[in-house]
């Protein structure tokens, strides 16, 4: 065994020689496989995934719902199927690259590519079997640790609200983390050892036609005694795969991005420069993606040759030059990158029409969900405020976020267990600052009266279990009362313009919208008041589980908003609201992505950003949007 120490020490050199010797053939295979996967395989997997989750019959829009779903037989089966499809595709690609890497034939690159694709396809049943055994074993290993974490969570944090944990971070949270970290470290160590033992199973299945079980068993034997050396090699490659795109992007931006700022703001100069920049950026991204995939496969090939065959492998030159087909394919890659760059530029809209929604009022300048916060939001330029409502014990709609009073007052009792009169005795301003001492929990009626003619409201329903419809009906009753008040105000007004500022729009429901994290409750609100606008709030959206016709706007956590989500919104005809966004850079990115509204704790920042952008000409705004796209 000691005779193999030398080759392992020279693994980096072997990997580099193999990469250089098979570069063109690997590029050809990567392009062909990517084309096949993107046009046939991935859409098929996407369709199967959506169909699987659609059969579950549950709208999965929150983390809690997702966790609950994963612990059901249907949810677990769906997750395993999706994992299997994803890893099956990856193993298929890696098998083809392994065939190219270790082929000894002198032949045209593209003939070798087609042969590798056919070879991987013939081994696909065995590869899928390997996925089932390998990935399934890792999931089985994970199961007891997940059960242990769930038990620890119930023991330390059971009954405490997630938001309370995030904001207050009580001692129980740190006790839970202290107990969970050793458990996670043990799982990571065991999972890493299992991965290293089975590292050679894929090349054994792909290259020697071994059965999955035989390949796993032989991999354990071949890697015995080499775990540290293999781990060092795998870790070095992994660090390189992660670090290289980051370093390349930083270098690219540092060298070329400043050049755009020096260009004159004329479309005839800016557009060609942006197109050239984007084309180069897309090509760099494609090259780095290919390099990461190829090096991972070549590492397996080198380890296989050195441990299974007992020798270092150096590829023999193919002896063929790049023919016309090779140049045509590679030119096509450049053309596709240019077309994609042109499509990206064409997607920029010179329109910054986004609504400013103050999250619980100006909640960084005044206590959240208070009249002071809502008045401050008016001064800060907000178009609307988002607020949370709950029912008191005597069915009065109170404006308060948490289910209990613990976070803001220190009292552990729940809002739904106290009457309006009892809730009015709590000071929810002192925690924020001395200037707000004595601030009380307002009712929805008080907020409607204080913001009339100045702000719209996004009213998020926070019902106690089983009280969703009751809360919705009470909110609608309050809006009907507000509408009656506004009509009476208009009847007494002499000047319509002055009346609009004092009374607001006559039908209060036109300036309001109802929001909820529950798709069922949103649908119920639509049944009770079809004309009232609704927003479904979502922490995530599991593909195939959501009826996208059931709301007027989808409120997504801002880091979940993607180009695909924006395209879906256009297709189904609803708005996209981003929450909760406090960074001006992220605000700018979301504006340029086309978000219809941004919910923020700092409405004054968003108002200032919009005012600054409105002062730019079309060319300046285009350049700004381009820079924003690069930061995504």
- The residue assigned the tokens 């441990």 is 307
Q: How many CB atoms lie within 10 A of CB 104?
A: 7
**Count of alpha carbons within 13 angstroms of residue 179, beta-carbon side:** 17
Q: Which residues contact 18 (CB under 8 A, 6 or more apart)?
A: 101, 298, 301, 302, 313, 314, 315
As beta bridge partners, residue 391 has 397
Question: DSSP string spanning 475-503?
Answer: HHHHHHHHHHHHHHHHHT-S-HHHHHHHH
Q: Which residues contact 333 (CB under 8 A, 6 or more apart)?
A: 31, 283, 286
Long-range contacts of 482-489 (CB under 8 A, 24+ apart): 482/445, 482/448, 482/452, 482/508, 483/507, 483/508, 483/509, 485/449, 485/452, 486/452, 489/452
d(CA 154, CA 158): 4
Angle ∠(96,101,102) on CA atoms, nearest 5: 105
Q: Treating both helix axes as pointing N-terminal to C-terminal, what angle do 23-36 and 73-102 enclose, rounded to 10 degrees?
A: 150
By the 8 A CB rule, do 173 and 155 touch?
no
d(CA 354, CA 575): 11
Question: What does the buried/exposed string (b/e) look like for 350-381 if buried means 16 or more CB atoms within 10 Å of the residue's CB?
Answer: eebebbbbbbbbbbbbbbbbbbbbbbbbbebb
By the 8 A CB rule, do 338 and 125 touch?
no
Locate 495 and state its tokens.
């000047």
Burial label for 526, CB within 10 Å (0-12, 13-18, 19+), is middle
Which helix H or strand E contains 355, and what residues bound it?
strand 355-359
By the 8 A CB rule, do 531 and 55 touch?
no
- H helices, E strands: number in the chain: 26, 9
**Residue 456: phi, psi to the nearest 5?**
-85, 165
Q: Which are the catalytic amino acids?
A: 359, 401
Which helix H or strand E contains 253, and what residues bound it?
helix 227-262
d(CA 85, CA 91): 10
Nearest to 305 by CA among 153, 203, 212, 176: 203
By the 8 A CB rule, do 94 and 127 touch?
no
By the 8 A CB rule, do 134 and 88 touch?
no
* Secondary structure letter of residue 452 according to DSSP: T
């Amino acid at each position: 065994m000691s005779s193999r120490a030398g080759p392992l020490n020279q693994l980096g050199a072997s990997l580099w020689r193999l990469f250089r010797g098979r570069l063109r053939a690997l590029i050809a295979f990567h392009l062909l496989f990517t084309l096949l996967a993107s046009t046939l395989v991935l859409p098929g997997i996407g369709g199967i995934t959506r169909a699987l989750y659609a059969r579950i019959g549950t709208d999965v829009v929150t983390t809690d719902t997702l966790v609950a779903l994963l612990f059901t037989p249907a949810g677990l089966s769906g997750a395993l199927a999706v994992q299997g499809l994803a890893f099956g595709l990856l193993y298929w690609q890696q098998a083809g690259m392994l065939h190219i890497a270790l082929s000894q034939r002198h032949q045209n690159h593209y003939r070798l590519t087609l042969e590798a694709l056919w070879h991987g396809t013939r081994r696909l049943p065995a590869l899928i079997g390997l996925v089932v055994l390998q990935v399934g074993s890792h999931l089985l290993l994970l199961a007891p640790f997940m059960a242990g974490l769930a038990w620890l969570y119930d023991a330390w944090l059971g009954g405490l609200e997630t938001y309370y944990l995030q904001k207050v971070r009580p001692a129980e949270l740190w006790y839970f983390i202290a107990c969970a970290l050793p458990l996670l470290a043990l799982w990571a160590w065991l999972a890493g050892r299992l991965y290293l033992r089975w590292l050679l199973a894929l090349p054994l299945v792909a290259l020697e036609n071994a059965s999955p079980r035989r390949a796993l068993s032989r991999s354990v034997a071949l890697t015995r005694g080499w775990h540290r050396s293999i781990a060092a090699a795998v870790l070095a490659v992994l660090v390189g795969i992660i670090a290289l795109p980051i370093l390349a992007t930083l270098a690219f931006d540092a060298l070329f991005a400043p050049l755009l700022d020096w260009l004159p703001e004329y479309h005839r100069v800016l557009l060609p420069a942006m197109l050239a920049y984007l084309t180069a950026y897309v090509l760099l991204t494609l090259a780095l993606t290919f390099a990461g995939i190829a090096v991972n496969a070549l590492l397996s090939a080198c380890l296989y040759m050195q441990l299974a065959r007992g020798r270092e492998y150096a590829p023999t030159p193919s002896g063929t030059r790049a023919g016309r087909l090779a140049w045509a394919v590679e030119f096509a890659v450049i053309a596709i990158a240019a077309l994609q760059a042109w499509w990206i530029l064409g997607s920029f809209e010179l329109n910054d029409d986004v609504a400013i929604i103050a999250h619980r009022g100006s909640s960084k300048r005044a206590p959240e969900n208070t009249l002071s916060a809502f008045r401050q939001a008016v001064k800060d330029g907000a178009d609307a405020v988002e607020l949370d409502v709950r029912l008191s014990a005597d069915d009065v709609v109170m404006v308060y976020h948490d289910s209990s009073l613990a976070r803001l007052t220190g009292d552990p009792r729940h809002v739904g267990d106290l009457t309006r009169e009892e809730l009015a005795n709590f000071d929810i301003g002192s925690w924020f600052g001395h200037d707000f001492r004595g601030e009380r929990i307002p009712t929805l009626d008080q907020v409607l009266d204080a913001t009339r003619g100045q702000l719209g409201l996004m009213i998020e329903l926070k019902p106690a279990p089983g009280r969703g419809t009751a809360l919705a009906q009470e909110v609608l009753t309050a809006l009907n009362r507000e509408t009656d008040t506004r009509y009476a105000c208009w009847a007494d007004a002499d000047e319509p313009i002055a009346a609009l500022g004092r009374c607001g729009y006559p039908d209060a429901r036109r300036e309001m919208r109802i929001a909820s994290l529950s798709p069922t409750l949103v649908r119920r609100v639509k049944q009770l008041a079809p004309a009232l606008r609704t927003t479904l709030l979502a922490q995530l959206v599991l593909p195939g589980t959501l009826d996208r016709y059931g709301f007027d706007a989808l409120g997504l956590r801002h880091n979940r908003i993607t180009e695909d989500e924006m395209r879906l919104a256009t297709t189904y005809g609803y708005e996209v609201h981003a929450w909760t966004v406090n960074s001006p850079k992220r605000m700018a990115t979301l504006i340029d992505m086309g978000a219809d509204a941004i919910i923020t704790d700092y409405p004054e920042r968003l108002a200032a950003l919009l005012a600054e952008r409105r002062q730019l000409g079309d060319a300046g705004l285009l350049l700004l949007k381009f820079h924003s796209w690069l930061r995504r």
